[in-house]
Amino acid sequence: MNFILKKKKSKVKYTLLTEHLEINNFSRGIFNNVEKKHNYTLGCPSVTSLDNRLYTVNSPFSIDITFDKDVYKYNFDINAHPDNENMHQLLKKTISINTNKNISNLQVLTPYAFITDDKDIELVTLEPNIKYKNCKFVEGSLMPYSWIRTINSAWILEGNEANINYRKNKPLLNFLFNKPVDLEYVEPNKKIYDYWRHCKDITIYSNNVWSHYKHILHRRPKNMV
């Protein structure tokens, strides 16, 4: 019955890293804060065990995305967003699609990255409660102590012409930590940027990321938060 016991919260920070979107002079203020998924006080141990472990972040966009193999199109709500070149540029940099081994994968790139000095913290991405058709959400797992990367909302095509509907102030992603955390926002500093650049886009240059892992980890500053 370990889930009943209160556990000490580990310190975890999140930040916004936008350089991979390759857009100059756009407002990071459109991106929402990461918040607790719920604050239920039902007295049920199985519910209480999720306190400070389950988090969510809402979408900055109201957008419908349709995609098929190697191609996508989008429509956004012009009542929520101005129809200008800057908005289209941001969306084109945010949406990515590729096909590998005959599996088509669409990702909505985000700037959210997590940092901690707790080696045992694991972060799992969970499906947001939104409307979609002919696709499947791809869960992911990350150990943020050793690896800084931005988190994406990823989907795999199932059948023909999938559709995903994101809405402002509705979930973009859910996050589950393996133990309670004290989560706070932090502005990205030089330590964060420098270590992120060791991890960033490494799959573009190597088919065996694990062969680089110990070398990258050796360069990690002792304290990051």
Q: What is the residue-level pLDDT of the chain in tens, covering all 225 positions? A: 455 455 789 999 999 999 888 777 788 899 999 999 876 555 565 666 788 999 999 999 999 999 998 899 999 999 999 999 999 999 999 999 999 888 999 999 999 999 999 999 999 999 999 999 999 999 999 999 999 999 999 999 998 899 999 999 899 999 999 999 999 999 999 999 999 999 888 887 888 888 888 899 999 999 998
Give the pLDDT score at 1: 47
Q: Is the separation of the CB atoms in 60 and 30 below 8 Å?
A: yes
Query: In which domain, by residue range, is 129 found?
Result: 2-218
Number of domains in the chain: 1
Using CB atoms within 10 Å of the CB of residue 115, give its burial: 0 to 12 exposed, 13 to 18 middle, 19+ buried: buried
Give the pLDDT score at 5: 52
Residue 225 located in a structural domain: no
d(Cα 161, Cα 138) in Å, to the nearest integer?
17
Residue 206 located in a structural domain: yes
Give the pLDDT score at 4: 43
> What value, to the nearest 5°, has the Cα angle with vertex 67 and ends 99 and 98?
20
Name the residue with tokens 């973009």.
172
Residue 136 located in a structural domain: yes
Query: Which long-range contacts link 76-81 to residues 24+ away (Cβ below 8 Å)?
Result: 77/168, 80/168
pTM of the complete model: 0.90
d(Cα 97, Cα 73) in Å, to the nearest integer?
11
